Amino acid sequence: MKHYVVGFAFNHTMDRVLMLKRNKPPYQYLYNGVGGKIELGEDPQHAMFRELQEETGLKQSDIQTSSHLTTLEFKSGVRLAVYYFQLNRNIEPSPTVKTMDEGTLEWLHIEDDHLLDASNLKMAGDGNIAYFIQFAQKVHKGIASF
- For the stretch 43-97, pLDDT in tens is 999 999 999 999 999 999 999 999 999 999 999 999 999 999 999 998 877 777 7
Q: What's the rounded Cα separation, in Å, for the pair 25 and 74?
A: 18
* pLDDT for residue 93: 78
pLDDT for 146 beyond 70: no
The letter for the amino acid at 76 is S
C-alpha separations of 103 from 39, 60, 66 in Å: 21, 22, 24
Higher pLDDT, 100 or 20: 20
Mean pLDDT, residues 124-143: 93
Cα 87 to the center of its chain, rounded Å: 13
In 10 A of CB 88, how many CB atoms? 14
* pLDDT for residue 132: 96
For the whole prediction, is pTM greater than 0.95? no
Q: What are phi and psi of 98, to 5 degrees?
A: -120, 125
Mean pLDDT, residues 21-32: 94
Which run of H or of E encompasses 71? strand 63-73
To the nearest 10°, the Cα dihedral for 104, 79, 45, 94? 20
